[in-house]
A and B are shown apart, each in its own frame.
Chain A
Amino acid sequence: KAGVTQTPRYLIKTRGQQVTLSCSPISGHRSVSWYQQTPGQGLQFLFEYFSETQRNKGNFPGRFSGRQFSNSRSEMNVSTLELGDSALYLCASRTGANTEAFFGQGTRLTVV
């Protein structure tokens, strides 16, 4: 069974640009969550999608948005990039409540 796939693995963008990250969950998993990891901050929750609906959103500005498609694939978009957006962005999928989440390898975004 294929794991969670995130593309691209690495990205370098300039301040003010926008970026779109992609996540393909494990087959059969309908819940997809996004997390941001920065040094010393652990994993910060961005949002969670289930069956194309955003069910929960973390404490991030509106520049961070996402969506989920009918095949459960998800995209995350960050507009007007800032230097502080440089981080590892992780996507996780799960089958439902009280189950473990499986993470992709992440996308390393560097904003210069």
Chain B
Amino acid sequence: DQQVKQNSPSLSVQEGRISILNCDYTNSMFDYFLWYKKYPAEGPTFLISISSIKDKNEDGRFTVFLNKSAKHLSLHIVPSQPGDSAVYFCAATQYTGNQFYFGTGTSLTVIP
């Protein structure tokens, strides 16, 4: 049972435009959410996180939005750069938990 879902396997965006990656979850007990970026043959790299007490968190070009009522989060990358081309995973966990639940990933391609 996939508790975290990324329904778009791939996304292509022009350089300089906004990339929006989406993620849905089913477990209302999740209260900490993260985005990871992964290049081939490397481990995932932490990008940004958000706690359930917030609805937005920004870090440079990356912003994560959380809509708890819809059980939905999104990652906005503005402006998108070719180096952003990678697979992006969202993950969720509970404050008292000790495992992350990952989505299946969205492959982002930024076209120069």
Tier of interface size on chain A = 20 to 34
Tier of interface size on chain B = 20 to 34
- Is the pair A4, B89 in contact by a Cβ cutoff of 8 Å? no
B51 within 8 A of A: yes
Q: Is the interface of B mostly helix, strand, loop or mixed?
A: loop
A31 within 8 A of B: yes
Set of chain B residues within 8 Å of A44, measured between Cβ atoms:
102
Binds B, one of A12-20, A78-86, A102-110: A102-110
- Is the pair B46, A101 in contact by a Cβ cutoff of 8 Å? yes
Given contacts A43-B89, A45-B100, A101-B100, contact A90 B95 (CB under 8 A): no
Q: How far is the CA of A109 from the CA of B3 in the complex (A)?
A: 26
B19 within 8 A of A: no
Q: Is the interface of A mostly helix, strand, loop or mixed?
A: strand
A77 within 8 A of B: no
Q: How far is the CA of A33 from the CA of B51 in the complex (A)?
A: 21
Q: How far is the CA of A104 from the CA of B51 in the complex (A)?
A: 24
Set of chain A residues within 8 Å of B79, measured between Cβ atoms:
none
Q: Which of A35, A55, A104 contacts B98 (CB 8 A)?
A: A55
- Is the pair A45, B99 in contact by a Cβ cutoff of 8 Å? yes
Set of chain B residues within 8 Å of A56, measured between Cβ atoms:
97-99
- Is the pair B101, A45 in contact by a Cβ cutoff of 8 Å? yes
B32 within 8 A of A: yes
B61 to chain A, nearest CB (A): 18
Q: Which of B46, B93, B101 contacts A102 (CB 8 A)?
A: B46
B27 within 8 A of A: no
Q: Taking beta carbons and an 8 Å cutoff, which residues of B are in contact with A?
A: 2, 6, 31-32, 34, 36, 41-46, 49, 51, 89, 91, 93, 95-105
